A and B are shown apart, each in its own frame.
Chain A
């Protein structure tokens, strides 16, 4: 299989206007990845799947990552025909609050269908062009995106026998709140 630089050169040659850069892996012994701009992602993906030498016809894994400034989707591509891989491509959203759209690669690889739905459910990235973008794991009326780092889980640790750290602080606060306004609440 080609090296990451050769793949980048091939993409830039085949897809005009593609914005591709190499995102180095901080651990140099491990494979690097390609960072692709969302606008050209569909064309690049089609090239990667159909190119004679690469033939990356198998999308193995789609991951959502929550970085401090943006959200990211990472795709691991392998080739069943040529038995090589992986080629890792990544896309970033513009920011975390308002512009969280990325193009969906489901039209190219069907295996992205459920995984992109899961990322929409847990991270909140909206994949445009996805045939059926609904929540996958949480229920339909759920409002938050739980895997984000700033998610606060509902507090249902009322009875925790060995509380410590965060849970102890919350339990003490709750006990203070219960004992304060109405003493009859404490006996419930």
Chain B
């Protein structure tokens, strides 16, 4: 059976040679860090020479005669990403036009935050990207710490890294599970992903008290300390994660349906990705080396050795492989962090957590959330509530080029491409 459809070369290449060591002095085939991305591809014009409108979606002409079939995919559809609608105009099976429609989950989080204190918005940040609540908390805590100029003790930073990377593992596993579910594998890979996710959620519940809406980070540290028993349980779970990743990958990687449906589908050029503000695994799958953990070096990420996988063919298969590889890198970070964590305080004694009025000013704090760059922009006018509270949603901005990726493809691929963007509606609509 395997001899009928041989694995395409991209499948073999992605793992070995495309995982580039990032950092100075490391060998890399394409020195993406030094030169502009497009110049390393011969023949591509530089940004300044591109014609007007190069970053607009191409205008598709229908082949046949007659009218276009206009389909509204959503807001209620079996693809489990939430209430999202795409107005698709089809010529037969080919997509001619695609306009996303949002707002079905707009819960005006930003307006609520203007009426609440800084700490009062912390539980609401859980509900932004509801699969990864701890990274949302971290981004918000980082932004407020920048605004008020607070330092975070070392053990709290390690705990943040551990929880953040656990979140990333379970988010990438769920994302691959949902992607395969949209391909028709109704639920089975998702069951494997949720098996690992349940173990991680048990850890979250043991430490923070809740499986999903953890509300754990505070400005200046973490809410409660992790006991030695919890750290041992975490080490046990992390020890089982490489086996899970191996099994998950082995079952899916050479699956013919997966390869046939995802290779060559939904190609996103790197220069368009950068111009459209795409971040996270989608950007790295388009070959651009930009990981905020390496660029900003927030927290204690500088102390850990991990690589940044980059994609080569910029298609859905690359995005799936990048998430798989990033899971493995996260497991490496977890092993290092769990080994290096030292006892100490998790909250600085002079931390201003509640009832404080920061000095007037503005700050923008961002982290590498599992979906992309999650940023919080806060403007303070000296009062107890923020004057302006803005969430930079990675999922919404990653959807900017959904139309570009889907034009000309079959309508059945639209669901796959959309699944590979990996969005969460709570973040898109806030």
Contact = CB atoms under 8 A, between A and B. Distances in A.
Contacts of A88: 364
Interface residues of A, number: 40
A137 interface: yes
B47 A110 contact: no
A164 B355 CA distance: 21
Given A63-B388, A65-B379, A30 B362 contact: yes
Contacts of A65: 379, 387-388
A110 B276 contact: yes
B391 to A, nearest CB: 9
Which secondary structure characterizes the binding site on chain B?
A: mixed
Contacts of A25: 361-362
Contact of B397 (A81, A107, A114, A138): A114
Interface in B363-410: 363-364, 366, 373, 375, 377, 379-380, 387-388, 390, 392, 396-397, 399-401
Contact of A114 (B47, B380, B396): B396
B56 A80 contact: no
B397 A111 contact: yes
B52 to A, nearest CB: 7
B335 interface: no
B393 to A, nearest CB: 9
A95 interface: no
A76 B366 CA distance: 11
Contacts of A146: 108, 111
Interface in B341-371: 359-364, 366
Given A110-B55, A137-B106, A86 B276 contact: no
A49 B36 CA distance: 12
Interface in B134-152: 146-147, 149
B379 to A, nearest CB: 7
Contact of B375 (A30, A57, A61, A111): A61
A109 B275 contact: yes
Nearest to B35: A81
Contacts of A112: 277
A131 B359 contact: no
Contacts of B377: 61, 63, 74, 76
Interface residues on B, range: 35 or more
A98 interface: no
Contacts, number: 112
A159 interface: no
A83 B308 CA distance: 15
B238 interface: no
A136 interface: yes
Interface in A17-61: 25-27, 29-30, 49-50, 55, 57-61
A147 interface: yes
A58 B36 contact: no
Contacts of B37: 80-81
B111 A27 contact: no
B53 A107 contact: yes
Contact of B429 (A58, A59, A80, A137): A137
B256 to A, nearest CB: 35
Nearest to B401: A110
A61 B392 contact: yes
B165 to A, nearest CB: 22
A61 B372 CA distance: 13
Contact of A111 (B47, B361, B387, B400): B400
B28 to A, nearest CB: 15
B292 to A, nearest CB: 10
A109 B277 contact: yes
A27 to B, nearest CB: 3
Interface of A: 25-27, 29-30, 49-50, 55, 57-61, 63, 65-66, 74, 76, 80-81, 83, 86, 88, 107, 109-115, 118, 131, 135-139, 146-147
Interface of B: 33, 35-37, 47-48, 52-53, 55-56, 102-103, 106, 108, 110-111, 146-147, 149, 272, 274-278, 288, 290, 295, 359-364, 366, 373, 375, 377, 379-380, 387-388, 390, 392, 396-397, 399-401, 429
28 contacts: A26-B361, A27-B149, A27-B362, A27-B363, A30-B146, A30-B147, A30-B363, A50-B48, A55-B36, A57-B274, A58-B290, A74-B377, A81-B35, A81-B36, A83-B295, A107-B52, A110-B56, A110-B272, A110-B277, A110-B400, A110-B401, A111-B277, A111-B397, A136-B103, A137-B103, A137-B106, A137-B429, A147-B110
Given A80-B290, A109-B275, 11 more contacts: A26-B360, A27-B363, A30-B361, A58-B277, A63-B390, A81-B35, A83-B33, A83-B290, A131-B56, A138-B106, A139-B103
